[in-house]
Amino acid sequence: MTIEAVCRLSPRIEVLPILHGSGDVAQEVRETLIGRRFDCVAVPLPPSVEDTLEAAVEDLPRISLVVIPERDREEPTVNFVPVDPCQPVIMAIRVAMGERIARAYIDRDVAVFEPTPFTAPDPYALKRIPLATFAAALLPSLVPPTEATQRWHRIAWMAFRLHELELEFESILCLCHVTDWPWLREAYRERQPYREPDSSVERPTTYTVDPQSVYFVLGELPFTTELYERRRAGLRSDRHVTVDGIKELLLETRARWSANHHKEDQSIPNWVTPHLLQRYLQYVRNLALMEHRLTPDLYSLVLAAKQMAGDEFAITLLDTAKTYSFQADEQAMSSQPTVAAGIGKLEFPDGDVVQANNRLQGPSLHWRSLSLRPQPTRMKSRRWALQWNPFRQCSWPPEDNRIESFTRHVREQAKALLGADLARVEKFTTSVKDGIDLRESLRHWHTLPSHDRRTKDSVRREGSTYLSPVKPEIYVREIPPARGNVETVVFLFDTPADPAIYSWHATWYAEHEEESTLCFYASPFQDRMVGPGIGQSRYGGALFLFPPRPIPNIWDDPALRFAQTLEERLIAAAARHSREAHVVLVSPIPPRARWRQIVKAFHRRLVTIPLSRFSGQTIDRLRRFHVLNGHEIRSYATQFIRE
C-alpha cells in the first residue's frame, strides 16, 4: 500500500494533512486543488463561521480576524480564525471560491475551544518530499486523542460529516491537521459515535488587525506574506519565496538603512556590502541548524543582524520584517473595527484585553530577549537637549580607547611608508635582506644573452657537451629603519566639508598621558540626543597630537587665519604644532596642491594614507562619538549608547 493510498479514505474522499501557518503547505494545497478536479473542499472549521469568513476572504489582502466569543470562562476569552493568505485552510477556501468549488465546514461547533499544541518539523522540507511522505514520517510522534475529550468528539463529528458529503459529491478533498488525520481515518472507517454540536455558540464578528500587531496573527513574516501577495497579483511564481523572501528582506532593509544614513549625512559609506550579506546568510543558516530548523525565524534574523551590522541595522530589519503595507492601505478604507493582537491576547477598540485562542495556530510564539537600543523619539531628544548644562562636557572612555588604538595603528602604517621610501635595491650576494624584489629582478631579465634565458628543461646539446643556462641575477630589497617619528595624524572623513553640517568646532585636551590632544570639526551633538546628558555627534575631520600637550585653540588661533576651509585649518594646525618632520593625512581623496603648499610653508612633509584602506564599517563606528554632560554621566551611559 502506497502512502497516497493511506491518505485516501474512500474512492470519493482524499485527506490532505496540513500544518497551519505555513506558506509552503499553502502552496501544496493550492497546487493540489488546481492540478486535479474536485467537487467539494472540506475544511476543519465549524459552519458557524462560514458566511463571515468567506466575506473576509474576499477582502484579502487585508488581514482580518473572525472572532467568536466564549462563554462560561472565568476571564474574558475568545477564539478566532485569522484570514491569512499563507494559511493552508484560507488558501483552500480562496482557491475554491475562485474555481467555483463547493466548500463544506465540517468541524464541530463548540462553546469553548480547546487548542491542541503541536511542534512540527520545518515544512520547508516539502520542497524536496511530497506532503504525504512528510505526514507519514510524523506518525511515530503523533499522540492519539483521549477518549471523551473535545478533540475526540471533534474528530468523530468530522468523520460523520465526511460520510454525509460522499453521498452528495463525487470527489472530495478534506483538509485535516497533521495531528488528527490518522485518527480521522480511523473514526471514518469504524464509524465512531459522535456528539451533536453545541447550540450555544456566539455569533462571529470580523475585525481588522492593527498594522503594528499583524505579526502576531500571521503564520509567516508580514514582509514574506506581502511578497506572496505581490507575486500573486503579478502572476509570478512564488515557489521559492520562503528563501528568496529572506534575500528580499535583506535588500529592502539595506535600502532603508542607507536612506536613514543619507538623511543624517551624505558622506556615510554603505559598508553593508554583498560580501557582508553573504557572511550574514551563512551565519543565519548556522543559527537555524542549531535550532533544528531549515529556515530561520525572526529572532535568528535579528540576532545575526545585530552581531554582523549593529543595533541600527538590526532594528531596521525588525521593522521591515513586520511591515505589511496592504494593511495600512486597506485600513484607511475599511469601516470595520480594529483589534490589536499579541501572544495569546487581543485588545478590542473599547480597550478590553481578552485571552485569545487561534483555531489555525501555526508554530507557537514565545518571547525571547534581545538587547536592542532604538533611537529615542523626537520629543525625548528635545527634552534632554533643554536639560543640557553648557559648561560641562566630556567624552566617553570606551570610544576614546577605540579611536586612540586606531590612531596608533595609522601611525605604525605611516612609519612603514616612511621606511619604504628609503628602501634600497641591490643584487643578491649572501643574504636576501628584507626580501626578494621581483619587480627589479624581472626588469633586468632582458639584459641576459638570449641563449641564457632558458629553464632547466631547455638545456641544449651541442656535440657531446651539455650547455647549462646561466641563472639570471636576483635583486633583493633592504629597508632601513625609518628616521624620526610621527606625532600628528589628520583624519578627513568628509571632503569637501560643509560648514553648515559640521558647525561644531572644538579643541579637547587629554585627561591622561594615553590620550591625544584632539582638534576636530563635527556635527552639533545637541541635534541628536540619545539619552539624558548624552549627545551623539559625527566627525567631519579630526587632528590627533600625541604625546599630548596643551596648544592654543586652533579655531581661534590668528596664526591660522589664512586657512579658507575646515580641512585647510586642520592641516595647517597639524603642520604648525608638529615637532616632527612628517604629518600623516588620512583622506578619501588625494591631497590637493593647496594642502601640500600649506604643509611645505611650515617646513613639514605630508604622508598620505587613503581612507579606503580601512573598512567602511570601522570608519563609520569611529566617526560616531558621544558627548557626556559631566563625568557622572559615564556611570549609566552604556545603557543608551549603541556600539
**For 331, phi and psi rounded to 5 degrees?**
-65, -35
DSSP 414-483: HHHHHHHHT-EEEE-SS--TT-B-HHHHHHTGGGS-GGGS--GGGPEEETTEEEPPPPPP-EEEE-PPPP
pLDDT at residue number 453: 46
CA nearest neighbour of 425 among 356, 476, 501? 476
pLDDT at residue number 597: 94
pLDDT digits (tens, 9 = 90+) for 493-542: 988 999 999 999 999 999 888 899 999 999 999 988 999 999 999 999 99
Match 465540517 to its residue by C-alpha cell.
106
Dihedral sign, CA of 322, 324, 328, 331?
negative
pLDDT block averages, 10 residues each, the chain of length 643: 68 93 93 92 95 94 93 86 95 95 94 87 88 88 90 94 94 94 92 89 92 92 94 86 91 89 61 88 94 91 91 92 85 76 92 92 87 84 90 90 93 80 73 77 68 47 50 74 79 91 93 92 91 92 93 92 93 93 92 93 92 86 91 90 74
Dist. CA 551–CA 521, nearest whole Å = 16
Dist. CA 530–CA 633, nearest whole Å = 13
**DSSP conformational letter for 109:** P
pLDDT at residue number 85: 94
Dist. CA 64–CA 542, nearest whole Å = 55
**What are the helix and strand counts (H, E) for the chain?**
19, 23
Give the CA distances from residue 44 to residues 91, 92, 176, in Å, rounded to whole numbers and listed in that order: 13, 11, 6
CA nearest neighbour of 619 among 488, 494, 487? 494
